[in-house]
Amino acid sequence: MIQGWEWIIILVVVLLVFGVGRISKLGSELGKSVTEFRKGLREGQDDEKEDKSE
């Protein structure tokens, strides 16, 4: 199982390979994707409630 020091080494290698700017951009895009996904789920639930009430 991966322990503390191994995670730090993996993180450093990832930062060296991708760079800080690229990782922050990826994180931002991931956040936007999650937000849109949740929005879609809420809209689907609202549509479902409207169908049941009719």
Report the C-alpha gap between 1 and 48 in whole angstroms.
Answer: 44
Instruction: Assign 9 a pLDDT band (cuts: 50, 70, 90).
Output: very high
Residue whose tokens read 């479902």: 48
| pLDDT confidence tier of residue 36, bands split at 50, 70 and 90 | very high
Q: Residue 6: is its pLDDT beyond 90?
A: yes
pLDDT at 37: 95
Taking 70 as the threshold, does the pLDDT of residue 53 lie above it?
no
43 is in which domain, residue-wise? 18-53
pLDDT tops 70 at residue 26: yes
The answer to the question of residue 6 being in a domain is no
Q: Is residue 13 part of a domain?
A: no
pTM for this entry: 0.54
Q: How many domains does the chain have?
A: 1
Domain contains 3: no
Tokens 């409207």 map to which residue? 50
